[in-house]
Structure 1
């Protein structure tokens, strides 16, 4: 009887509190406002999401419109199925008594300003009948116009509950039309951009791969609100999920033309068992609302990433020479020493040793064996990694190394010793992706093992300068020996286990640069990039394909986060074209210099020096995408320094048609009142700049309103222009 009385009192307290006092909560950046408000029954609704109004009192005019919504159409912030929610819910739960409904009511909220630019709002919601609590978090970055949204779910029921949906965010709009740009593809053809209308019903973008989760689709999107997304005009929502695993975005247009955008972990095969007192924290949904098209939205995200999210976001990046295209798995100490000499000759910062350096019982001569046995192959490298690090130091370059510590070949000593550490069905035939299986990072013993792979390398080689962390397989054969009866927790706990390892590495080696690699762009999310300085965009390094791939990734990531290497892919392209395609991003080389002619080698050396001189513009400046490769036979992009004193314009002719009519390219982001000297840089030895780019001076107004004739009818032709303000 006492328990029933307590429940009734709790219900009365919550309902009375919510009914007596209507709360309006303002979550805003310098440009965007998200306004939430409680209804009479204590539920929390979205009142407004759009451009920030100069007079906050004007939002009150929207209250009448919200109250006029019929049941099922009101924009509840975190609705659950089973009540009057007729459309896709944000939250699903099964209580101890089997009931599958929860009604969340407002209890309180707090606002904390952590810096002049960053504010965090926390809203607490509770169920009056069940001891279930959801906290909604909103972090705003005022100058960057970025909002992060995530939730914390907890309960005090007697036994574990089952949560079947747990969105990070649910947002609403009402427009006449909606258009979605998605970024899909596969290995070596990542981030293909496709725009389609959103009509009545649901469009779902999701991943079910566990690890290497972004193989077929990337965890970001753009929605045009009112019209198709454009580069410099119109209102767009650009969003991404900070989660290195299965994700899901749902875009639902209802019978009244309302759009719901629901973002979070994909609950597929992951209805999570949550113990009493345990807190389930969802990943952050990161979004910006731009009224000046995708270009402005990208600059918001890029600036925010450099300032707040990307590891060492304001720091430098290492140029490098990788051995893979020169040697594959076939190398020894002498061959690697000679490649380090080539790295020194090029002028890059570092030599990177790729796959193939480990395994003794099962030496790594190919991708069929040895993965998981992180001991140096004595027959290849009798003096171990320390000798390589010392050789690099003697030659005058840094040394980095490739690892893939989450994976294992069945033909390995690790698998023979610890089959219980592997995600693997106990009673069915195994399926292998790239001849390997995935270690069970939900298991603390496996987390310790993976951490020790890095810790041993770093302890043995304190001067080791860089790690390339690969992940070449999705999770297959879905079964965790460690989780036993809670197999439904595996997809989530695997990623959380990965984060625990990465957190330990960052804590012990905070200044260690690492590349996030996943057989190309299989991992491209902002939570992983808290621990990695850059990511590998694609194994496809054909410069023509890279123009499209880099265009896609630039929608959401800054240049310094995108690793771009010069390789021998596409021999129809000159070495200048290949280098120029990589120059706007984090430059590296994976090429056999001996295949290049002397003048090509000299060009590469000069290009590295030029890159080091101007990379501050691309690394810290604002990006303007001028001409899309999707629109024709040419593409151009430029970067402008924050002071508007320097700029770089990159122009590429891909496959122009015969006697094509060429148009000037109009610059963006310059100061119209300033004058700029224009010089063509990164030329082949003996080549001369075009007449219009040989130290000529133009006003910023001219460059933006009239433009420059940077395109030609030459196939696979490129041009880099440096713009410098003059007094």
Structure 2
């Protein structure tokens, strides 16, 4: 078989080198972007163009493939190879690194064939490459979504060598640019400080963004980035690449500027401590890398990604979302059955759809009274909840709300019956002192028995309690004590097989209980990727619910995710902020509450009830409409954003004063996305009882043209003040 593959590759090489004019060209296109690949004279595949869509197909024939001048004046065969292997003549970072059976560390991939087919929303292109000396095959996959201007790409690696080969690098793709300057916007993070944006120029050498945490992998940095081409990324103008990796584990983005000022972008799984032993005929599939190239700044790029996510990637992306009342900030671990029943009645009184019971409901030998015990023992604490989950779902039904439940099934406390029975199910060293993060360990999801157990937790809860409508699925610890008792000698598989094991469980849950909505949570926003969101309807942006901090957090996440996917709760964090300000900040995303209604006075409660009713009435605009970020908190002491529905006849504007300076100059906020030929009635909503609108244009009818060119005076001088405006087209 090896001989057959070599002969086939050699034949293809001979065909491809006959005439430069006959070089095969592969065009991967959206309505606004072209990614053009070309098989060069040497039979290998190169990127020949990536940019704004070319209008004339004949112009494609003028595209060549990039070469470099060698130091002696000759022409080097180095170029922009689409999936460069280690050990070839390219001097920079490769996409793929393989050690073959004979110890040879080189891989040279040659074009074999390509095909296209229609898929939901777009066109998939599959390109087969093979090594000319080893029976190794790589298939590159691209799906272009024309309307949304989004492309996703991933790679399949397989071989037929007699023994396993070793993969030490396995990127999802490579993209190249040749511009005067590049500026990277990255998203750093920590607990309660997610999605913090910062920008720096990319200069000669490498800039690497990566994580080595395994689980809760995005705790310190998030799996997405923006590259401003020629200039730092701007909201409404300029060319930007916006990319995100659909992977819930360790990831790495490499940005390398070479000796002549060209940039290569290499996204993929982080190969740190993960040399992967790939068996014969086994396929290694890399994560999807999802990207858009916007020529109208990050605003348009975000809208494209948000629309794409709702249409194709996010679980139930076109469906509604449940407003909720959570008990955590109100009760923490201290509750009983009657307390929860009363909170369900409060949820109904507030007007939300669901009551969510958080941590602290499980464990008997080691009851869950704090975070030191009980994880792994997913049975109701009998003396706290004698009626079990069934009594709670009954109470929810009687109150007229749905019931949701917090779980953390991938984790275990050493102080638990599960750990006593199966210590080998936890990731931990056999011969070193164990380090505990948050008093817990991570279950080894590479182990099929553990996968079965974790699925069984969810399956049993839902079979016994069909009234459960929602799970908040948490993950509070990174992987520590990094050793798998199951994998034993193949520890290089752990970080990857662990994540794949999680996906197997989530796929089973999705297949068997598709109607159950789920929140993706990881001690806040440390899980926020589009692979996980195939199985979750939304994610928890941060445990930090201070509305001022949330403005920055939600601004950052909105670069890549629709409001529909972003959970925001009204809590007691930052009591200096009014209940109106706290609620208005949460209302720009998927709205929830996590506080006791008894701490509100009568006017505050009435306000919250009205705000919930307004949000539910306008949910289709906020969650499904186009989002326009108008005023950046990074560039001012204010923030504003508006949403517009598909017909352009309904819009909602949110404006926030954070900490204005004394008598600073205030400018009208110019809306975006309206129909300039339509007229809109202006109404300020979410007003406190008895408080009249101070908006000068309240109740007036103004044209979309005026609103976008002149704007509304919605900003003020009072710290932590907010204004919500509903705009309705009139005939």
TM range (shorter): over 0.9
Which residue of the other structure, out of 384, 392, 405, is the alignment partner of 2:396?
A: 392
Q: Which residue of 1 aligns with 2:370?
A: 366
Query: What's 1:34 paired with?
Result: 35
Equivalent position of 1:101 in the other structure: 106
Query: Residues of 1 paired with 2:266 and 2:439: CA distance?
Result: 36
Give the CA deviation at 1:10.
Answer: 4.0
Moved more, 338-347 or 54-63: 54-63
Pairwise CA distance, 1:11: 4.7
Is the 8 Å Cα contact of residues 361 and 413 (structure 1) preserved in structure 2? yes
Residue equivalent to 1:675: 679
- Is 1:610 the counterpart of 2:608? The answer is no
Report the alpha carbon displacement of residue 73 of structure 1 after superposing the two structures with TM: 4.2
CA deviation string 1:647-688 (max 9, x = no partner): 111000011111121111111111111111111001000111
Which residue number corresponds to residue 635 of structure 1?
Answer: 639
SS of 1:631's partner is coil
Partner Cα separation in structure 1 for residue 656 and residue 6 of structure 2 = 70
Q: Does 1:379 align with 2:383?
A: yes
The whole-number CA distance in structure 2 between the counterparts of 1:409 and 1:9 is 57
2:491 corresponds to which residue? 487
Corresponding residue for 1:19? 17
| Residues 127-184 of structure 1, C-alpha deviations (whole Å, 9 max, x = no match) | 1110000000000101000000100000000000000000001000000000000000
> In the TM superposition, what is the alpha-carbon distance from 1:5 to its structure 2 partner?
6.5
The separation in 2 between residues aligned to 1:491 and 1:76, in whole angstroms, is 28
What pairs with 1:441-456 in structure 2 (closer than 5 Å)? 441-456=445-460
Does the 8 A contact of 2:47 with 2:65 survive in 1? no
Within 1, Cα distance between the matches of 2:246 and 2:65?
A: 36
**Aligned: 1:217 with 2:212:** no
**Are 2:326 and 1:325 equivalent residues in the alignment?**
no
| 3-state secondary structure, aligned to 1:678 | strand
Q: Which residue of 2 aligns with 1:61?
A: 62
Following the alignment from structure 2 to structure 1, what is the Cα–Cα distance between the partners of residues 676 and 81? 46
Query: 1:82 corresponds to which residue?
Result: 87
Q: Give me the whole-angstrom Cα distance separating, in 2, the residues matched to 1:224 and 1:683.
A: 40
Partner SS for 2:460: helix
1:658 and 2:662 are equivalent in the alignment: yes
Q: 1:47·1:66 contact (CA, 8 Å) conserved in 2?
A: no
Partner residue of 1:648?
A: 652
| Deviating 4+ runs (over 6 angstroms) | none
RMSD over aligned Cα, in angstroms? 1.3
- Report deviation, 1:14: 3.4
Alpha-carbon distance in structure 2 between the residues aligned to 1:253 and 1:638? 37
Aligned mates of 2:504, 2:308 — CA distance in 1: 24
> 1:615 Cα shift?
1.2
Q: How far is 1:19 from its partner?
A: 2.6
Pick the aligned partner of 1:297 from 298, 301, 310. Answer: 301
For residues 311 and 300 of structure 1, what CA distance do their matches in structure 2 show? 17
State which of 236, 240, 243 in structure 2 corresponds to 1:232: 236
Gaps of 5+ in 2: none
Query: Is structure 2 residue 481 aligned with structure 1 residue 477?
Result: yes
Shift of 1:17: 3.6
Partner Cα distance (2:582, 2:419) in 1: 41
Answer whether contact 1:164 1:270 (CA < 8 A) is retained.
yes
SS of 2:700's equivalent in the other structure is: strand
Give the 5 Å matches for 1:109-258.
109-115=114-120, 117-258=121-262
Structure 1 residue 598 displacement after superposition? 1.1
CA contact (8 A) 2:6 2:135 kept: no
State how many pairs are aligned.
724
Q: Call closer, same or farther: CA 1:702–1:420 in 2, change over 3 Å.
A: same
Retained in 2: the 8 A contact 1:72–1:86?
A: no
CA distance in 1, matches of 2:557, 2:437: 26
Q: Give the match's secondary structure for 2:144.
A: strand
How far the C-alpha of 1:6 sits from its partner, in A, is 5.1
How much does 1:599 deviate?
0.8
**Contact kept? 1:693, 1:721, Cα under 8 Å:** no
Alignment of 1:312-711 (within 5 A): 312-711=316-715
Q: Structure 1, residues 340-384: CA drift from partner, whole Å, max 9, x if none?
A: 110011010000000000000000000000000001000100110
What is aligned with 1:725?
729
Whole-angstrom CA distance in 1 between matches of 2:282 and 2:416: 37
User: Normalising to structure 1: TM-score of the pair?
Assistant: 0.98
2-structure distance, mates of 1:342, 1:417: 40
Write the distance in 2 (CA, Å) between the matches of 1:572 and 1:589: 17
Give the superposition deviation at 1:72.
Answer: 6.0
Question: Residue 44 of structure 1 corresponds to which residue in structure 2?
Answer: 45
- C-alpha distance in structure 2 between counterparts of 1:645 and 1:513, whole Å: 30
Asked if the contact 1:14/1:128 (under 8 Å) is kept, the reply is no
Q: Cα deviations across residues 518-565 of structure 1 (Å, max 9, x unaligned)?
A: 000010000000000000000000000000000000000000100000
Q: Which moved more, 1:359-368 or 1:54-63?
A: 54-63
Question: CA–CA distance in 2 between the matches of 1:208 and 1:675?
Answer: 53
Q: Tell me the residue number matched to 1:71.
A: 76
Give the superposition deviation at 1:479: 0.5
List per-residue Cα deviations over 1:589-621 (Å, max 9, x = no partner).
000111111111111111111111111101111
> Using a 3 Å threshold, how does the CA distance of structure 1 residues 8 and 383 change in structure 2: closer, same or farther?
closer
Helix, strand or coil at the partner of 1:676: strand
CA distance in 2, matches of 1:5, 1:562: 53
Counterpart CA distance in 1 for 2:64 and 2:337 is 73
Secondary structure of the corresponding residue to residue 16 of structure 2 = helix
Shift in alpha-carbon separation, 1:691–1:165, aligned structure 2, 3 A: closer
Whole-Å separation in 2 of the counterparts to 1:486 and 1:71: 40
Q: Distance in 1 between matches of 2:697 and 2:353?
A: 31
Where 1:414 maps in the other structure, the secondary structure is: helix
Offset, 1:8: 5.8
Rounded Cα–Cα distance in structure 1 between residues aligned with 2:211 and 2:576: 36
Please say which of residues 516-525 and 6-15 is displaced more in the overlay. 6-15
Normalised by the size of structure 2, how large is the TM-score? 0.98
Deviation digits for residues 12-40 of structure 1, max 9, x if unmatched? 32322433452100000010000000111
